[in-house]
């Protein structure tokens, strides 16, 4: 055992974005980066990074406070978790996350004043703490790379993709020429945000019409391109609604619009159409529905897959903790449900954690290779500086070429367990 947890540190930076980033009907223009260190009584230490995305985690809290105020609330939850860990015996990260989560959730509900706080708010706050704990676990167990962790905690995570398709993000304000530029670069899976709020009026019928027209324009552009990485030979679409659709009928109206413009058959994923507490079955819909915000735990994965008919799961070790991700993936893999790794607009050092999972899981039907979402280069004003902070800014796995990340050297050279990563 690594002894007791006896020392913790917490810091943060504010990273500006190139332009306001729109989703869930809102916009943000900076992301807070949290950093923590945890030390044990026998001299082991781990560091962890996190990116706070309050708009993704809880749009209600984001809308009800200033951007800085909402971020300060989330950072307070990270500090609470570190305080709860001090003096505890180190076990394994999954166990420790289960110990601190309930108290952190209660605390976060009080801080935000939201008695229906999504669990994603707390999980987002716990990410740097969890990564630091996994570094300590690696030092304790002598793991030289992520494969050893997977063998121990998630044996079905045993693939080694030679390439990972890069998934950029098409936000509400992404221009047509930007979409064309991405396709010219070889991108074959476009993640398109739907669930807009035209004019800020909150009109859901207007939202649906706007979403259909947006998809139609993108499809007209993408249909001109070909790719060897999809079954259909053309770029395909991954739509993310972030829970903005209120009922099945409205979603079916949107999908009819997608069919009418010829885009329906190119949709390989439609993520999180309804709010997580809606309890709406997605069985019988003509596209594969993926869960994200509604899946915080293994139990949630079972509920969404077995109970509601979800056909895919978005994994987010960089947003929901690696500990929760391993448990969620275990349930999905047991049921033969495809998974993929989505982004939270993370810096390169956190992208490498996401890639550790994405490179070892299967493929989404309709695609011929693994994929990983990475939209940091599109959004961070200081992306080049963030690349330098990895210590290997020119690594092939950090620079997509012809639409894919080259993972040839990744498994031997990318070590997320090194202290200070």
16: region left, alpha or beta (phi > 0 left; psi from -120 to 50 alpha): beta
Give residue 26's pLDDT band: very low, low, confident or very high (50, 70, 90): confident
CA distances from 148 to 91, 207, 381 (A): 17, 46, 36
Q: Which residue has the tokens 């890639």?
A: 355
At residue 301, the pLDDT reads: 97
At residue 419, the pLDDT reads: 52
Give residue 1's pLDDT band: very low, low, confident or very high (50, 70, 90): low
418 has pLDDT over 80 = no
Handedness of CA 58, 59, 65, 70 (dihedral sign): positive
Query: CA 130 to CA 61: how far, in whole Å?
Result: 23
Question: Which three-class secondary structure state does DSSP give residue 35?
Answer: strand
For residue range 312-353, what is the model confidence (pLDDT) as tens digits?
999 999 999 999 999 999 999 999 999 999 999 999 999 999
Average model confidence (pLDDT) across the chain: 95
97: region left, alpha or beta (phi > 0 left; psi from -120 to 50 alpha): alpha
If you ran DSSP here, which 8-state letter would residue 253 be given?
Answer: H
- For 193-202, 241-250, 286-295, which range has the lowest pLDDT when averaged over its residues? 193-202
At residue 22, the pLDDT reads: 81
Query: CA 245 to CA 23: how far, in whole Å?
Result: 13
Q: Are 197 and 207 in contact (CB under 8 A)?
A: yes
Element (H, E) at 32: strand 26-40
410 has pLDDT over 60 = yes
Q: What is the mean pLDDT of residues 95-123?
A: 97
421 has pLDDT over 90 = no
Question: Which three-class secondary structure state does DSSP give residue 12?
Answer: strand
Long-range contacts of range 40-45, CB-CB < 8 Å, 24 or more positions apart? 40/2, 40/3, 40/4, 40/5, 40/6, 40/90, 40/136, 41/3, 41/4, 41/5, 41/6, 42/2, 42/3, 44/2, 44/3, 44/90, 44/136, 44/139, 44/140, 45/135, 45/136, 45/139, 45/419
CA distances from 115 to 31, 118, 202 (A): 25, 9, 23
Q: What is the mean pLDDT of residues 89-94?
A: 95
At residue 3, the pLDDT reads: 87
- Domains of the chain listed by start with CATH number: 5-142 (3.30.390.10), 152-413 (3.20.20.120)
Q: What is the mean pLDDT of residues 295-302?
A: 97
User: What tokens does 210 get?
Assistant: 């706007």
Give residue 24's pLDDT band: very low, low, confident or very high (50, 70, 90): confident
Query: CA 25 to CA 394: how far, in whole Å?
Result: 36
If you ran DSSP here, which 8-state letter would residue 19 be given?
Answer: E
Q: What is the mean pLDDT of residues 250-264?
A: 98
Give residue 261's pLDDT band: very low, low, confident or very high (50, 70, 90): very high
At residue 290, the pLDDT reads: 98
Query: CA 95 to CA 106: how far, in whole Å?
Result: 18
Contacts of 265 (CB under 8 A, 6+ apart): 232
Give residue 276's pLDDT band: very low, low, confident or very high (50, 70, 90): confident
Give residue 420's pLDDT band: very low, low, confident or very high (50, 70, 90): very low
Q: What is the mean pLDDT of residues 164-179?
A: 94
Contacts of 192 (CB under 8 A, 6+ apart): 170, 214, 215, 218, 237, 238, 239, 240
| Percent above pLDDT 90 for the chain | 93
């Amino acid at each position: 055992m690594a002894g007791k947890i006896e020392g913790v540190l917490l810091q943060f930076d504010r990273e500006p974005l190139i332009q306001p980033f729109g989703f869930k009907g809102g916009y943000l223009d900076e992301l807070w980066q949290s950093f923590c260190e945890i030390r044990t009584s026998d001299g082991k230490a781990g560091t962890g990074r996190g990116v706070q995305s309050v708009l993704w985690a809880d749009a209600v809290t984001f809308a009800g406070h200033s951007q800085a105020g909402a971020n300060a609330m989330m950072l307070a939850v990270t500090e609470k978790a570190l305080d709860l860990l001090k003096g505890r015996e180190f076990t394994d990260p999954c166990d420790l996350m289960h110990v601190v989560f309930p108290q952190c959730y209660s605390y976060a509900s009080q801080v935000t004043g939201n008695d229906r706080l999504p669990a994603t708010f707390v999980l987002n706050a716990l990410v740097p703490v969890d990564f630091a704990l996994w570094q300590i676990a690696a030092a304790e167990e002598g793991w030289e790379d992520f494969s050893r962790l997977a063998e121990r905690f998630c044996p079905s995570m045993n693939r080694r993709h030679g390439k990972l398709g890069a998934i950029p993000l098409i936000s509400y304000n992404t221009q047509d020429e930007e979409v064309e530029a991405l396709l010219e670069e070889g991108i074959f899976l476009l993640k398109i945000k739907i669930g807009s709020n035209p004019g800020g009026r909150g009109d859901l019928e207007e939202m649906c019409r706007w979403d259909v027209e947006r998809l139609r324009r993108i499809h007209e552009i993408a249909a001109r391109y070909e790719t060897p990485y999809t079954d259909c030979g053309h770029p395909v679409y991954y739509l993310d609604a972030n829970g903005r659709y209120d009922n099945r009928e409205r979603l079916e109206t949107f999908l009819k619009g997608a069919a009418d413009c010829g885009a329906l058959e190119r949709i390989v994923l439609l993520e999180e159409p309804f709010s997580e507490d809606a309890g709406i079955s997605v069985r019988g819909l003509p596209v594969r529905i993926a869960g994200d915000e509604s899946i915080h735990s293994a139990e949630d994965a079972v509920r969404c897959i077995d109970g509601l008919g979800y056909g895919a799961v978005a994994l987010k070790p960089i947003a929901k903790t690696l500990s929760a991700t391993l448990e969620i993936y275990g349930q999905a893999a047991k049921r033969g449900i495809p998974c993929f790794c989505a982004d939270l607009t993370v810096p390169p050092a956190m992208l490498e954690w996401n890639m550790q999972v994405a490179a070892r899981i299967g493929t989404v039907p309709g695609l011929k290779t693994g994929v990983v979402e990475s939209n940091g280069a599109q959004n961070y004003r200081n992306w080049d500086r963030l690349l330098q902070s990895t210590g290997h800014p020119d690594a092939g796995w950090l620079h997509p070429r012809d639409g894919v990340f080259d993972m040839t050297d990744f498994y031997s050279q990318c070590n997320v367990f090194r202290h200070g990563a």
